[in-house]
Amino acid sequence: MLIDSARITVSGGDGGNGCVSFRREKFVPHGGPNGGDGGRGGDVTLVVNPNLNTLLSLYNKSLVTAERGRNGLGSNKTGAGGRSVIVDVPPGTIIRDAKTGEMLGDLTEAGQQLTVASGGRGGRGNARFASSTNRAPRRADSGQPGQKRILECELKLIADLGLVGLPNAGKSTLLSRLSAARPKVADYPFTTLEPHLGVVKAPGDDYRTLVLADIPGLIEGAHEGAGLGAQFLRHIERCRALVHLVDLSTLDPPPGERVTMIRDELLAHSPSLAERRWLLVGTKMDAAPDRDQALIDLADVGSAFDVETHAISAVTGEGVAQLLYLLFEIAGDEREID
């Protein structure tokens, strides 16, 4: 199950209190103050773990609290600092302050860290207040409270290419054909209920790969909440380029209308998506009632949108090898631009 949003409360540890203490030793009749400072409270830090792909680690935690600092001790001993708490998050996690809406960080790189709640400073012991006019201060500071925040966490999957299209356009079948991912495949709409990622190897090169994202099918009004679109459209924003799949096994409605509808939904969600490079792929050629007419229709749509087209059948494998080369060409070009 993909958990792509979570709300948690984080609290840094409180600082320890300063100590009021005086030196008491034999043959030292006028021992001075020797109260130590309190220890600093621990921090709450988020760290990107590339092995995670959901926010499940945050979803099951309503409150994350770091350890408070220990109080200061006599003999000028500073209290121990509180232990910090490290919480793993997947790459692509956006952190916002729930009260102000301020974006605190966009965590995309493995090992990247973000301290979201700092620990409080420890209080000063009475040794800090000694002076020539105040030889025996009986004052010490209390530790400062740790920082507290309510965080809104949102995950946007990071992928090189994103598969988009209407429900039942063949996205999951293509992903399972090109990678080791095994999303659910069936002959009815909305089979895919959450995004899936697959790692695709370059032909003849086991060391060159790209990440392909299968986005649940979009329908008209997706950007306003229709179907599953509003929930998962944000995952497309991380993709370098898009692969738009259109089913050629049916001509009702015409392919041009279906492509236009999806393009309009992407534009309504984010204008930048309409400017992203894309490839139009006709699917299910094995089931096309008229192959020649299907190829003509696909070419006409490509000309209308000024986009490159390619036809495949993920079931029989027709055109899949050539498509693989195209995908790596597009992904490579976009990486060079970045």
Given a cut of 50, the residues of the chain with pLDDT beneath it are: 184-193, 219-229, 337
DSSP 224: G
Domain end residue (candidates: 136, 155, 174): 155
The answer to whether residues 147 and 115 touch, using CB atoms and an 8 Å cutoff, is: no
CATH number, domain at 266?
A: 3.40.50.300
Q: Is the dihedral of CA 227, 232, 234, 240 positive or negative?
A: negative
Q: What is the pLDDT of residue 1?
A: 52
CA dist 151 and 96 (Å) reads: 6
Mark whether 70 and 186 lie in a shared domain: no
Q: Half-sphere exposure of residue 333, counting CA atoms within 13 Å on the CB side?
A: 12
Mark whether 183 and 130 lie in a shared domain: no
Identity of the amino acid at 16: G
The boundaries of the domain holding residue 238 are: 161-337
Q: What is the pLDDT of residue 192?
A: 46
Mark whether 25 and 58 lie in a shared domain: yes
Place of tokens 């490839």: 279
CATH number, domain at 88?
A: 2.70.210.12
Mark whether 38 and 171 lie in a shared domain: no
Domain end residue (candidates: 99, 133, 155): 155
CA dist 214 and 226 (Å) reads: 18
Mark whether 188 and 149 lie in a shared domain: no
CA dist 261 and 251 (Å) reads: 15
Q: What is the pLDDT of residue 43?
A: 97
Mark whether 65 and 143 lie in a shared domain: yes
Q: Kind of pairing, strands 196-202 and 205-214?
A: antiparallel
Q: What is the pLDDT of residue 197?
A: 76
The answer to whether residues 194 and 205 touch, using CB atoms and an 8 Å cutoff, is: no
Q: How many domains are contained in the chain?
A: 2
Mark whether 24 and 64 lie in a shared domain: yes
Please state the pTM of the whole predicted model. Answer: 0.70
The answer to whether residues 140 and 35 touch, using CB atoms and an 8 Å cutoff, is: yes
* Cβ atoms < 10 Å from Cβ of 272: 10
Domain end residue (candidates: 94, 124, 155): 155
Mark whether 167 and 309 lie in a shared domain: yes
Mark whether 251 and 317 lie in a shared domain: yes
Mark whether 131 and 88 lie in a shared domain: yes
Mark whether 117 and 236 lie in a shared domain: no
Mark whether 287 and 329 lie in a shared domain: yes
